[in-house]
Structure formats: structure tokens, C-alpha cells
Amino acid sequence: MNAWLGGLLLVALAAWLATAWWHSRKPLPAGLHVAGPWRGAEGLELLLDETFLDEQGRWQQRQCILAEWQRLIAQARRLVVVDLFILDDGPLGRSLCAALIRRRRQVPDLEALVLVDPINRCYGGRPAPQLEALRRAGIRVATCDLTPGRDPNPTWTALWRLLFRALGNSPRGGWLPNPLGSGRVTLRTYLTLLNLNANHRKTLVVDQGDGWRAMVSSANADSASHDYRNAALRLAGPAALDLLHSELALARQSGIAPLPHCPAPPPAEPDLPLPRLRLLTEGAIRDVLLATLEDARPGETLALCAYYLAHRRVIRALLDAHRRGVTLRLLLDPNESHFGRASPGIPNRQTARELARRGLAIRWNGDARAHAHGKWLLRHGGERAAVLLLGSANLSRRSLDDNNYEANVQLDAPDDHPVIRQAQESFARYWHNRRGEYHSRPFQAHDDATAWRYWRYRLMEASGWSTF
């Protein structure tokens, strides 16, 4: 009997280890880890949501990203594809849903797809009235299937895949408090939440006239994001089609069928001149980010806005660039809260202390009310073209190592290109608090990292038991 039980435990252990190993390394399906071809930089506009204090200490806002999403939706005639991490039933979510429903009623032949992360239904444990309203209006809605992707928290997700996934979930309520809002949820919600993976993209693709327009952004449409600082790039042409086909691949794996008909992206053009841009998703973002940091030269400046800075290879690349004489300016969120709950500043305060001790220039951008949620890197100055990398990806293992679903764009352009110039001027305004606007604070304002918190961050980042 003991031998039989021991053998059974060994089989279970082997199944758990094999599942954890495979699902953290397996090949990715179509539409993920995309390094798109270089495309002409058509229809570009940099959009920034900003929240700041004026000279009288009053909160002020300039928000334009959601308004541009609504404007693009309002002129679409053939197809709208929305992919959002969070689309809730708060003011921002309702306004975006209303724009979609309104346009669908105006143009009954319009095809509209909305992809969302499972968090919007509390992993199947709560109803989502905003998504049901879209369905009733004839808009196809899919909760993104994350299981074909890789597992950022394999020690837990392997167990979930083997034992709990088949149980599903129920939106009729349960006996546990909702970790994401009001009401009650089942234990199965918590079991799924602990996978700690996400469809983290924030994209929009629409037709415009005979062409295509797209938005790649860091902004969600949820109540908590109302005061967040975000960044987005609007683009047009073949790059928008590259994004559209990546999104349709996710829609297919999430059960949307049949897919809407749309043209294939044109072949890549060799030796495309500047300005040019390309789509990057998942681990392809990491590859380009590291290459940009590692290729930076003395006389150039790296300006970084980061909501989370945790990835060890990124941190080493920043330190190496500093040692080579590259000028670095890091604007980091102080991580005062996560999902509305107070946080001890993990991971940014820990990584900031590590970098500041080596001489890197750091300021804190935003606070508990106005998180610095934009995620962008600008390399400029010197004699080469500037590089702007912008989108949904945080600088963490979850976002950069093919775990979360992410979407960014890379723009290579001369320093005097309007988008590059706007990015330079905006970063300088945040860094120096120009025009009577207070966007940032000195490093000392949140220099409170401890050894315990530092090693806690390192363990969370390495193990995958992490929300960043």
C-alpha cells in the first residue's frame, strides 16, 4: 500500500513538473511574439493623458486618448476591433461601449469585435453588464483565451491546469469577497486569478475611408484609470493591418468565428527610408528594447517612463549604458498602490534605489491618485535617428518574456520629426516641471527601499508570484 501511494505521488509530481516546464516554454500560436516588418510612418499622432498639479496645488487634467478612440469609432463603416485589458462598467467603460453601440446602430452592416481579459468577468465569477450590452447590440465579444500562451506563474498554473481548469466558474456568486470590486465570488475565481497572466493589450483598429487606422496605447477604460497618465500612438496604413491580423489571430483562438474579411498586409519593403515604424508584441518587445539600450552611445539620451521597472536584463542594460557614458533619465511611478490597494512601493522603489546608487538620474512621476501608467522609451540626440518604443508592456518578466499578451510600436525617425519632438518636449516638461505644471518629484521623495523589500521583489519577479 505504501509503495503504491509512493508511486502515485511520484507520478503526480512528474506530471506537475512536466506541465510547469512545458507551459512556460512551449511554442506560441500565431499572432503572438510578432516582430512586424518595417512600414511607412503614416498618419502618426502622439497622444498623452496628463494629470498634474498647477501652481496653486490644484489637480488638472488633459485627456485625449479615449476621445480619439471614440472619434475613430464614430467614422468607421466596415470594421472595428477593440482589444482592452480592462473595460469595466464605470464612466470610461460606459462611454466607450456607448460609442460602439451608437456606431453599430448607425451602420448596421458594421462588424465590431471586442476582446477583453478574463479579469472583466472576475475570471468567470461575476457578470459583466457592459459586455452584455455590447452583445445585445450585435457586437461580438470574446473573453481572451490565455491558455495557449505561456504561464508566468508555472508552479501554480501547472496545478490549476491539471486539477482546477476543468471546473470552470459560475457568475451566480459565491461566498468569498470579490478581490477586484463589490459582491461575492467563488473559490474558483481565486484559483484562476493566481495564474497571474493577462491579455494586457490596449489596441484599436478601424477602417477609415479606403484605408486603416489604429491606436496602440497604455490606457485602459476602467474607473481606476480616470486620473492615470497614459501614452498612445495613432498610426495608419500597412502597420495598422499588421496589428489587425495579430488581433484577429487572438480572436480566433478565443472562439470568434467566422472572422471578418479584411485585406492581407502588403509585402515588406526592403530598405525603407525614415521615418518608419513596426508592430512589436510580447517577447519581440523585449528584444527590441534590449537592443535599443545596448546600442545607445555616448552623446545620446535615453528617456524612460515606466509604470513597473523590474526585469533584470533591462536593469543590467540600463547600468551598462550608464557606464558607457549614455545620458539616462528615468521617470518612474512610485507604486503607492496596486489595483486600488496600498503597496510598499514594489518593484520601482527597490530598483530605483539600486540604480540611483550607481549614479542614474531618477525622478518620481505621478502618485497614488495619478499613476504614471505610460510605458515608453525614447532614445534621441547624437547623430543617429531617434527611436521611440511605446505601448502596453511594462518592464517586467510578465510583460516582456512572452507571458502576458502585449502590443507596442517602434518608431525610428529623425530628431525633428513631430512625434519625436513632442515626446522630447513632453518628457522635459515632466522632468523639469515646466510651464507651472508639477508632474514629478525628486528621487528622495520615495527613497524608502529596504533590504527585505528588495529581496521580496527579486523573489516575486523570478518566481512569477507577482502582480507586476
DSSP assignment string, 343-367: ---TTHHHHHHHHHTTT-EEEEEB-
Closest CA relative to residue 427, chosen from 465, 382, 376, 360: 376
Q: What is the reported pLDDT for 213?
A: 98
What confidence tens digit (pLDDT) does each residue in 67-92 have?
999 999 999 999 999 999 999 999 99
Q: What is the reported pLDDT for 226?
A: 82
Domains of the chain: 39-253 (3.30.870.10), 276-463 (3.30.870.10)
Q: What would the grid cell of residue 134 be?
A: 455590447
- State the average pLDDT for the chain: 94
What confidence tens digit (pLDDT) does each residue in 237-290 have?
999 999 999 999 999 999 999 999 899 999 998 889 999 999 999 999 999 999
What confidence tens digit (pLDDT) does each residue in 111-156 have?
999 999 999 999 999 999 999 999 999 999 999 999 999 999 999 9
What DSSP string describes 169-198? --TT--SEE-TTSSSEE-HHHHHHHTT---
**181 pLDDT higher than 90:** no
What confidence tens digit (pLDDT) does each residue in 309-367 have?
999 999 999 999 999 999 999 999 999 877 667 788 999 999 999 999 999 999 998 77
**463 pLDDT higher than 90:** yes
The CA R_g of the chain, rounded to the nearest whole Å, is 22
Q: What would the grid cell of residue 386 be?
A: 531617434
Separation CA 61–CA 43 (nearest Å) = 25
**173 pLDDT higher than 80:** no
Which alpha helices (H) appear in 141-255, and where do they start and end? 154-159, 187-193, 238-253
What confidence tens digit (pLDDT) does each residue in 379-427 have?
999 999 999 999 999 999 999 999 999 999 999 999 999 999 999 999 9
Question: For residues 386 and 414, is the Cβ–Cβ distance under 8 A?
Answer: yes
Peptide bond into 108 cis (omega under 30): no
- What is the model's pTM? 0.95
